[in-house]
Copies of this chain bind each other. A is one copy, B any other.
């Protein structure tokens, strides 16, 4: 038997879970970049260290973003990955594809790149993993011809993403897919030509289950909700009662304890319900969100760098969201303008609000303060007053 070049990685071909090493080898068989990538990765497994240099700035004509530059620190050993840039490609809302479209993408990538991809990146883009500087523009041209465009990188808007929403989910309170597409199209400029203090992410989940983790990883998080009562199908509730313990599994786990079950009838005190989705999740045939639907708008979510991670928080409890989404776009633009004006370099929106205070933010973007914005009011007495709150001083 031949000695393998990649004894360590070979270990990861074993086991039941699909193996990325198999995919790398598959690509390596026809593509020298993929082959060098595999070998460089093996070296990393041996050395326990990455072998990529600090990224450089590369791109396509007219754009400032969408490509992550990458160079090997061992081009002597792995010349085919000397330059190995990633292209981020806007995905169709909800990551729906027809196979013909996917096949086009594959053909383009076999022509220009390593033949390796991420379907998809954590932000949501289709990630085309590794090509040379020379291939960037031709690859982009082919993508564009096939109806694809690049996503964001650097201090720019990122490709918005959305949960599957109304395409398949009975709980969708807003049309997450349409809104995602609409915003992606409306803000192509902000995505492709970095002009913000830092990155800006938008994610849309059509209900509070938040299946795109919007609250944790977007500067602007849109989460569907409703204003009226949960719709109850009493017969289906009784049907569930035969299989599950409604008191224990539903009522007792309701965070506001606003449900009563007498063994026959379920009563919900909707004015106390915080629309957490739990009861609906457990009894999808019996309960449905209300009919007066829209979304809560939250801002500030982000990963730890620099000032610590933030979850997005409520700034608009309820907004109706219907095309052309003017109210929302107005708000987004007011927010971005303010951030753009006052944000320091590499300061995310949430960090800027943290630094300057919600009151300054709210005044600047013209939103009224409401208790839904906070878990609880402040505990420290370090309260600012606006000059107009004060009586004129006599002296």
Contact = CB atoms under 8 A, between A and B. Distances in A.
A16 interface: no
A304 interface: yes
Interface residues of A, number: 7
A181 to B, nearest CB: 34
Interface string A377-395: 0011110000000000000
Contacts of A382: 304, 308
A211 interface: no
A309 interface: yes
What secondary structure prevails in chain A residues at the interface with B? loop
Assembly stoichiometry (copies): 2
Contact of A304 (B308, B309, B381): B381
Contacts of A304: 380-382
A310 to B, nearest CB: 11
A348 to B, nearest CB: 15
Contact of A380 (B309, B379, B380, B381): B309
A138 B382 CA distance: 42
Interface in A350-383: 379-382
A308 B381 CA distance: 8
A382 B381 CA distance: 29
Nearest to A303: B381
A217 to B, nearest CB: 15
Nearest to A307: B380
Interface string A283-308: 00000000000000000000010001
Contacts of A381: 304
Contacts of A308: 380, 382
A111 B33 CA distance: 98
A129 to B, nearest CB: 26
A190 B130 CA distance: 69
Interface string A332-362: 0000000000000000000000000000000
A379 B381 CA distance: 27
A48 to B, nearest CB: 12
A304 B382 CA distance: 9
Interface in A15-41: none
A379 B303 CA distance: 11
A381 B308 CA distance: 8
A249 to B, nearest CB: 16
A216 to B, nearest CB: 12
Nearest to A381: B304
A160 B233 CA distance: 63
A379 B304 CA distance: 9
Interface in A250-303: none
A379 B380 CA distance: 23
A383 to B, nearest CB: 11
Contacts of A309: 379-380
Instruction: Give me the 7 closest cross-chain CB pairs, A-B, nearest first.
Output: A308-B380, A304-B380, A304-B381, A309-B380, A309-B379, A304-B382, A308-B382
7 contacts: A304-B380, A304-B381, A304-B382, A308-B380, A308-B382, A309-B379, A309-B380
